[in-house]
Amino acid sequence: MIIARTKKELNRYLKLVRKANKTIGFVPTMGALHKGHLSLIKCSDNENNFTLVSIFVNPTQFNNPDDLKKYPGNETEDLDLLLRESCDIVFIPDVDEMYPEDDKRIFDFDGIDKVMEGKFRKGHFNGVAQIVSKLFEIVRPNKAYFGRKDFQQVAIINYLNKTYLPDLGIDIISCDIIREGDGLAMSSRNRLLSVSERKSAGLISKILTKYGRKFSGYSVEELRNRIAEEINLDKNLEVEYIDIVDDESLQTVSEIIPGKTTICAAVYDGNVRLIDNIAIT
């Protein structure tokens, strides 16, 4: 496995890959790797000749400086995991390498960045677009892989790719959520939970799944309220939002259509903010 820390180093290796007509799969991460990330790497390995993983905690997508400071990470552990996977190159730049000067670009996402996460994390998706566009321009992969846990982010990246970067010809691949045994969606933030909070966290997916399957008889508003009330019964959990949205527009629906509607949630477990989503079937 090759480790590159600068764009110059990375480009030197990628030129050789492209010269050999190898297809490149790309998995962007912020480190603190877990089985969810590794599943993306496996998907890339199955569909490409060559897999590249990036590790970079992007400061421009954190609207809360304390959240950035607390974000978990251990490069040694991450590299040990990647050595055991089918990762050919890992790109680990520092902030100055990715932002030699302030990035003042503002992206227009036609409103899909204003709801849910965008409503509660101002500027978050613009920061995501800044770093993803930079990485896409550097790596120029054939395919890029993202987890469905970040449901809204996948929609944002699809929009970014089609609207702002069509000439790169990148296919965006959305992969299924990988869950713990109790249903908790795998996330780097899970390691910040206390023992008590970790036990409570498993309730989030259980409740979302229950109402995702038994939604009939409720209006959209009633369903949102029931989910929030049931989650909030746990002493460690506090709902920030529950939304029931159209899979394409991400707007709150007036009518639930199975197969085209998703329940999305953001919940504080103690001081740790967790997100999850369940497709209504």
Question: What's the CA gap between 2 and 84, in Å, rounded?
Answer: 13
Q: Which of 3, 191, 162 is nearest to 91 (CA)?
A: 3
Helix axes of 124-139 and 7-19: crossing angle, nearest 10 degrees: 50
Q: Which domains does the chain have, with CATH numbers?
A: 2-175 (3.40.50.620), 188-276 (3.30.1300.10)
User: What pLDDT shows up at residue 3?
Assistant: 98
Cβ neighbours around 204 below 10 Å, total = 26
User: What pLDDT shows up at residue 77?
Assistant: 95
Question: What's the CA gap between 165 and 213, in Å, rounded?
Answer: 37
Integer-rounded Cα radius of gyration of the chain: 19
Question: What's the CA gap between 163 and 177, in Å, rounded?
Answer: 26
Could you tell me if 86 and 25 are in contact, meaning their C-beta atoms sit under 8 angstroms apart? no
CA 14 → CA 4, 5, 47, 139, 240, distances in Å? 11, 13, 18, 8, 43
Q: Give residues with Cβ within 8 angstroms of 91, minimum separation 6.
A: 4, 5, 10, 52, 53, 54, 55, 56, 138, 139
Catalytically annotated residues: 37
User: What pLDDT shows up at residue 281?
Assistant: 84
User: What pLDDT shows up at residue 33?
Assistant: 96
pLDDT tens string, the chain, 281 residues long: the values are 999 999 999 999 999 999 999 999 999 999 999 999 999 999 999 999 999 999 999 999 998 888 999 899 999 999 999 999 989 999 999 999 999 999 999 999 999 999 999 999 999 999 999 999 999 999 999 999 999 999 999 999 999 999 999 999 999 999 999 999 999 999 999 999 999 999 999 999 999 999 999 888 889 999 999 999 999 999 999 999 999 999 999 999 999 999 999 999 999 999 999 999 999 98
Question: What's the CA gap between 232 and 68, in Å, rounded?
Answer: 26
Question: What's the CA gap between 274 and 173, in Å, rounded?
Answer: 23
Q: Which of 92, 77, 94, 71 is nearest to 33 (CA)?
A: 77
User: What pLDDT shows up at residue 86?
Assistant: 84
- Long-range CB pairs of 116-119 (<8 Å, 24+ gap) are 116/152, 116/241, 116/243, 116/245, 116/250, 116/264, 116/266, 117/152, 117/153, 117/266, 117/275, 118/152, 119/241
